[in-house]
Chains A and B, each alone.
Chain A
Amino acid sequence: MQRHLISAADLTRDDAILLLDTAEEMARVADRPIKKLPTLRGRTVVNLFFEDSTRTRISFEAAEKRLSADVINFSAKGSSVSKGESLKDTAQTLEAMGVDAVVIRHGASGAPYRLATSGWIDAAVINAGDGTHQHPTQALLDAFTMRRRLVGRDAGIGRDLAGRRVTIVGDVLHSRVARSNVDLLHTLGAEVTLVAPPTLLPVGVETWPCEIAYDLDGTLPKSDAVMMLRVQRERMNAAFFPTEREYSRRYGLDGERMARMPEHAVVMHPGPMVRGMEITAEVADSDRCTVVEQVANGVSMRMAVLYLLLGGNEPAVTHTRPPAAQQSAGERSAHTFDTAEEK
Chain B
Amino acid sequence: MSRILIRGARVLGGEARDVLVDGETIAEVGTGLSAEGAEVVEADGKVLLPGLVDLHTHLREPGREDSETVLTGTRAAASGGYTAVFAMANTFPVADTAGVVEQVYRLGREHGYCDVQPVGAVTVGLEGQKLAELGAMHESAAGVTVFSDDGKCVHDAVIMRRALEYVKAFGGVVAQHAQEPRLTEGAQMNEGVVSAELGLGGWPAVAEESIIARDVLLAEHVGSRVHVCHLSTAGSVEIVRWAKSRGIDVTAEVTPHHLLLTDELVRTYNPVYKVNPPLRTERDVRALREALADGTIDIVATDHAPHPHEDKDCEWAAAAMGMVGLETALSVVQQTMVDTGLLTWEGVADRMSFAPARIGRATGHGRPVSAGEPANLTLVDPAYRGEVDPAGFASRSRNTPYEGRELPGRVTHTWLRGKATLVDGKLA
- Measured CB to CB, the closest approach of chain B to A118, in angstroms, equals 8
Query: Which listed residue (A86, A131, A204) contacts B314, Cβ 8 A?
Result: A86
The answer to whether the Cβ of A208 comes within 8 Å of any Cβ in the partner chain is: yes
The reply to whether B193 and A207 form a contact with Cβ atoms under 8 Å apart is yes
| Whole-angstrom CA separation of A111 from B310 in the bound complex | 15
- Alpha-carbon separation in the docked complex, A208 to B198 (Å): 12
Does residue B325 face the partner (Cβ distance < 8 Å to A)?
A: no
Q: Say yes or no: A179-B313 contact (C-beta < 8 A), given A203-B192, A203-B204, A204-B191.
A: no
Is B200 part of the contact surface with A, judged by Cβ < 8 Å? yes
Pull 25 A–B residue pairs with CB atoms less than 8 Å apart, ordered by A: A81-B318, A86-B318, A87-B314, A87-B318, A108-B315, A108-B317, A109-B200, A109-B316, A110-B317, A114-B315, A118-B313, A130-B199, A131-B199, A132-B200, A133-B199, A179-B197, A179-B199, A202-B195, A202-B196, A203-B196, A203-B202, A204-B196, A204-B197, A207-B196, A208-B196
Residues of chain B with a CB closer than 8 A to A82's CB: 314, 317-318
Bound-state CA distance A9–B199 (Å) is 13
Partner of A134 from B188, B199, B314, B317 at Cβ < 8 Å: B199
* B268 CB, nearest partner CB in chain A, Å: 8
Residues of B within 8 A of A147 (CB): none
Going nearest first, the 9 A-B pairs with the smallest beta carbon separation are: A204-B196, A110-B269, A133-B199, A132-B199, A82-B318, A108-B317, A202-B196, A204-B193, A109-B199
B287 close to chain A: CB less than 8 A:
no
Q: Is A72 an interface residue (CB 8 A)?
A: no
How far is B268's CA from A109's CA once the two chains are assembled, in angstroms?
11
Contacts of A114 in B (CB 8 A): 269-270, 314-316
Interface residue ranges of B160-190 to A (CB < 8 Å) = 188
- Taking the closest CB of chain B, its distance from the CB of A280, in whole angstroms, is 29
Interface string of A155-199 (1 = CB under 8 A from B): 000000000000000000000100100000000000000000000
Q: Cβ of B194 < 8 Å from any Cβ of A?
A: yes
Q: In the bound complex, what is the Cα–Cα distance between A81 and B319 (angstroms)?
A: 11
> By the criterion of a CB under 8 Å from any partner CB, how many residues of chain A are at the interface?
29
In the complex the two chains form, is B192's CB within 8 Å of A131's CB? no
A234 to chain B, nearest CB (A): 14
4 further A-B pairs in the complex, CB-CB below 8 A; given A82-B314, A131-B199: A82-B318, A108-B316, A111-B317, A133-B198
List which B282-328 residues lie within 8 A (CB) of chain A. 310, 313-318
Shortest Cβ distance from B320 into A: residue: A82
- Measured between beta carbons, the chain B residues less than 8 angstroms from A132 are 199-200
The SS class assigned to the A binding surface is mixed
Q: Is A105 an interface residue (CB 8 A)?
A: no
A134 to B199, CA, bound (A): 8
Give chain B interface residues in 36-95, CB to chain A under 8 Å. Answer: none
Given contacts A81-B318, A109-B199, A113-B269, contact A86 B193 (CB under 8 A): no
In the bound complex, how far is the Cα of B315 from the Cα of A98, in angstroms?
A: 23
**A109 near B193 (CB under 8 angstroms)?**
no
Contact B313 A86 (CB under 8 A): yes
Alpha-carbon separation in the docked complex, A134 to B197 (Å): 9
Contact A106 B315 (CB under 8 A): yes
The complex places the Cα of A205 from the Cα of B197 at a distance, in Å, of 8
Closest to A87 in B: B315
Docked pose: A81 CA to B204 CA in angstroms: 27
A88 at interface (Cβ–Cβ under 8 A)? Answer: yes
CB distance from A139 to the nearest CB of B (A): 14
Inside 8 A of A179's CB, which chain B residues have their CB?
197, 199
Question: Please, what's the 1-or-0 string for B119-154, where 1 marks a CB less than 8 Å from any CB in chain A?
Answer: 000000000000000000000000000000000000
Which residues, 108 to 127 on A, are CB-close (under 8 Å) to B?
Answer: 108-111, 113-114, 117-118
Cβ–Cβ contact B316 & A204, under 8 A = no
A204 to B313, CA, bound (A): 28
**Cβ contacts under 8 Å, A208 to chain B:** 196-197
The docked-state distance in angstroms from the alpha carbon of A109 to that of B310 is 19
Q: Considering the chains assembled together, what is the distance between the CA atoms of A327 and B193 in angstroms? A: 32
Which residue from chain B places its CB closest to the CB of A202 in the assembled complex?
A: B196
Query: Using Cβ atoms and an 8 Å threshold, which residues of chain B touch A117?
Result: 268-269
Given contacts A86-B310, A110-B269, A113-B269, contact A205 B315 (CB under 8 A): no
Kindly state the separation between the CA atoms of A96 and B317 in the bound complex, as whole angstroms: 26
Interface members, chain A 200-242 (any B CB < 8 Å) = 202-205, 207-208
B200 near A110 with CB under 8 A, answer: yes
Rounded to whole angstroms, the CA-CA distance of A81 and B316 in the bound complex is 12
| Complex Cα gap A130–B191 (Å) | 19
Closest residue of chain A to B316 (Cβ to Cβ) is A110
Complex Cα–Cα for A202 and B200 (A) = 10
When C-beta atoms are compared, the residue in chain A nearest to B193 turns out to be A204
**Which residue of B has the minimal Cβ distance to A132?**
B199
Q: Which residues of A contact B196 (CB under 8 A)?
A: 202-205, 207-208
Give chain B nearest CB distance to A252 CB in angstroms: 25
| B125 to A: closest C-beta gap in Å | 22
Q: A204, B269: Cβ atoms under 8 Å? A: no
B192/A108 in contact, CB under 8 A: no
How distant is B317 from chain A, measured CB to nearest CB, in Å? 4
CA distance A179 to B197 in the complex (A): 7
By a CB distance below 8 angstroms, the chain B residues around A131 are 199-200, 317
* Distance in angstroms between the alpha carbons of A206 and B55 in the assembled complex: 39
Contacts of A9 in B (CB 8 A): 197
> Cα distance A117–B204 when bound, in Å?
28
Fill in one digit per residue for B196-222: 1 if any A CB lies within 8 Å of its CB, else 0: 111110101000000000000000000
Q: Which residues of B contact A133 (CB under 8 A)?
A: 198-200
B268, B313, B314 pick with most chain A CB within 10 angstroms: B314
- Residues on A with C-beta less than 8 A from B200 are 109-110, 131-133
Kindly list chain A residues whose C-beta atoms are within 8 Å of the C-beta of B310.
86
